[in-house]
Amino acid sequence: MAAAPSEDKQIFLSADMACRLAAIDIGSNSVRLLVAEALRGSTYRILDEEREPTRLGRSVSAKGQLDDESMERTITALQTFKQIAAGYQATSLRTIATCAVREARNGPEFCRRVREQVGLEVEVISGDREARLAFSSVQNAFDLSGKNVIVADIGGGSTEVVFATGNLIESIFSTPLGAVRLTEQFGLGEGAVPEAFQRDIVRMEEEIALCLKKRTTRPLFAPHFLVGCGGTFTTLAELVMASKKEIDIPVAGYKVSHAEVRHLLDRLLKIPLRSRRTMAGMTPDRADIILAGLSIVDALMKRFRVNTLVIHTRGVRDGLVREMIDDAMGTTVDDPAHRDAAIERLAAACSGELEHGRTVALLAGRLYQQLATTLDLVAGDKLLLECAARLQDVGYVINYDQHHKHSYHLIRNSRLPGIRAHDLEVIANVARYHRGAHPKRKHENLARLSTEDQSRVQRMAAILRLAGGLDRSRSQQVRDVRVRLEHDGVFIDVVADQEPLVDIWGAERRTDLFEKVFNLPITIQWAGGPDAAASDNGKPAKPRRKRRGDDADAAVSES
């Protein structure tokens, strides 16, 4: 059973006892165990690895539930794995389950049986989390700096795809394309009908292509390479290496071209299952599902227009162990300094607009603070607004034109210590609307939030737009703002050493969302330098209507 986090931390930091961890991954095709000993620097050394092909997901596609025989085999394997972990004196053991258990109607019943018969609590993870764990493993194995990459994790029941720029996730897609699922769906296993074999292959390839078209988008960047995780990819590499008589070359990091993938698939399609099992480089229990697996790889490379595949021999379990080590070290505690440092690193890596982000955060916070009581704003949202301001431009790392949309994805998929997942979703939405079209309920990103949270996003985004306009010149001229609310509107006095004409102009062009959300007109004027008296200076004129030009900050159209 997993130890409490506090116990993990004490054990890890103990000088006379190493921290030993164990992770079990219950997949659709096989169950895997990884036992590791944590080292300094959030790394580890492997003590043991085991794999048992239990085919737990073999009947899920056809019947919607796990069959008794596969469940029994899986439970037996889990009992053995638990004993192995205990033999290594693992102080923390976590068990996760993916697609098969996630989709099966009797998945909860299976988890109950594992708890009662084995004594393990099974965490059924989403496809999104599965992808994140796989990507965490990849970024620890490869230097992704300056690279646009696609990571694909092919399992027995699903394939998860990640688009990433450097070490930042831009998009995640989960698809029902699994090697076991497709093999059964199109009858390509033991009971394959020779007369219908080629027709079934064509049908499967068409289904894969259609699914990818529906479930994924093409990346806006040109990918440097595709990183492949899972048994399909390691078997692919071993088959290619065997055909080229390459000996003593590590599989990890091995590169395969799209042409080699297609050539191997064409060759295997001509070989009967019995002969495939004895091929050099073939894992025997994977021989029946390799055609489906390779067809997915071929379709991925075609869909995303990538020619180079790089093999990764680790994956979800590796990502889970690294997460366990981080938890044991206490690196995810709610420490404001740690959180701020992480925000600063993310902004620096992506936008190159650190000073602009800091200034906008300062001004947004000041505006929010002075408006909070009168406009009934949520007090705790000031911090979320300031975080959104500092990260609003991280989408620059993808491209400028749609950077507000990319900022949403990069923030949402980041790991910022001390910020809850729900708050991170709100922050990402606020940054999404710092420019461009107004928040609309039809937008998928906004629709994920409750009605109350959607209102919070609109209010924060309205204030963020004003603050961003007040540093339109990117010169940090505006030092402060003073807000006055009167019966006929909101009056913002801008504090700057010299009259910031460009910044006031920029803010005036971005008042429309604020005026719509709060139903209050805005007047913005220069109040003088920091020592200027905070006087009324007479009642300001009514705000003039701005001319909507073709400035870069003007709203962009939404599809």
* Cα–Cα distance for residue pair 403/424, rounded to 1 Å: 18
**Residue that wins the pLDDT comparison between 83 and 2:** 83
The reported pLDDT for the residue numbered 400 is: 77
Mean pLDDT of 238-266: 96
Q: What are the Cα distances from residue 527, in Å, to 360, 459, 487, 535?
A: 18, 25, 21, 9
The reported pLDDT for the residue numbered 6 is: 36
**Lowest-pLDDT range, 36-50, 60-74, 214-228?**
36-50
The reported pLDDT for the residue numbered 461 is: 96
The reported pLDDT for the residue numbered 5 is: 36
* Cα–Cα distance for residue pair 180/182, rounded to 1 Å: 6
Of all residues in the chain, the percent with pLDDT exceeding 90 is 72
Residue 536 scores a pLDDT above 70: no
**Lowest-pLDDT range, 22-36, 177-191, 410-424, 464-478?**
410-424
Cα angle 65, 70, 73 (rounded to 5 degrees) comes to 150
Most confident of 186-200, 302-316, 530-544: 302-316
Q: Residue 541's CB: how many other CB atoms inside 10 A? A: 8
3-state SS, residue 335: coil
- The DSSP annotation for 241-291 comes to HHHTT--S--STT-EEEHHHHHHHHHHHTTS-HHHHTTSTT--GGGTTTHH
Mean pLDDT of 14-26: 75
Most confident of 235-244, 400-409, 410-419, 435-444: 235-244
Structural domains of the chain, with CATH = 5-125 (3.30.420.40), 128-319 (3.30.420.150), 336-528 (1.10.3210.10)
Mean pLDDT of 351-375: 92
The reported pLDDT for the residue numbered 61 is: 84
pLDDT band at 532 (very low <50, low <70, confident <90, very high): low
Mean pLDDT of 406-416: 87
Q: Which of 129, 44, 114 is nearest to 72 (CA)?
A: 114
The reported pLDDT for the residue numbered 212 is: 98
Given a contact cutoff of 8 angstroms between Cβ atoms, the answer to whether 261 and 297 are in contact is: yes
**Residue that wins the pLDDT comparison between 287 and 415:** 287
**Lowest-pLDDT range, 140-149, 241-250, 269-278, 408-417?**
408-417
The reported pLDDT for the residue numbered 509 is: 95
Mean pLDDT of 109-119: 97
**Lowest-pLDDT range, 35-49, 132-146, 226-240, 422-436?**
35-49
Cα angle 477, 405, 215 (rounded to 5 degrees) comes to 170
pTM over 0.85: no
pLDDT band at 415 (very low <50, low <70, confident <90, very high): confident
Residue 46 scores a pLDDT above 70: yes
pLDDT band at 530 (very low <50, low <70, confident <90, very high): low
Mean pLDDT of 119-140: 95
Given a contact cutoff of 8 angstroms between Cβ atoms, the answer to whether 418 and 394 are in contact is: no
Given a contact cutoff of 8 angstroms between Cβ atoms, the answer to whether 327 and 426 are in contact is: no
pLDDT band at 15 (very low <50, low <70, confident <90, very high): very low
- DSSP state at residue 436: S
Residue type, 246: E
Most confident of 34-43, 304-313, 519-528: 304-313
Maximum alpha-carbon separation in the chain: 92
The reported pLDDT for the residue numbered 16 is: 36
pLDDT band at 531 (very low <50, low <70, confident <90, very high): low
Residue type, 75: I
Residue 17 scores a pLDDT above 50: no
Provide the token pair at 22. Answer: 């164990």
Residue 327 scores a pLDDT above 90: no
- The DSSP annotation for 342-385 comes to HHHHHHHHHTS-HHHHHHHHHHHHHHHHHHHHHHT--TTHHHHH
The reported pLDDT for the residue numbered 335 is: 67
Residue 269 scores a pLDDT above 90: yes
Residue 554 scores a pLDDT above 80: no
**Residue that wins the pLDDT comparison between 60 and 557:** 60
Average pLDDT for the chain: 88
Q: What are the Cα distances from residue 494, in Å, to 56, 368, 477, 488?
A: 65, 15, 10, 19
The reported pLDDT for the residue numbered 336 is: 79
Residue 56 scores a pLDDT above 60: yes
The reported pLDDT for the residue numbered 90 is: 93
Residue 113 scores a pLDDT above 80: yes
**Lowest-pLDDT range, 37-46, 117-126, 197-206, 275-284?**
37-46
Residue 177 scores a pLDDT above 90: yes
Q: Which residues contact 536 (CB under 8 A, 6 or more apart)?
A: 484
Mean pLDDT of 346-370: 90
Mean pLDDT of 530-542: 48
Q: In Å, how far from its chain's centre is CA 335? A: 23
- The DSSP annotation for 458-493 comes to HHHHHHHHHHHHTTTTSS--EEEEEEEEETTEEEEE
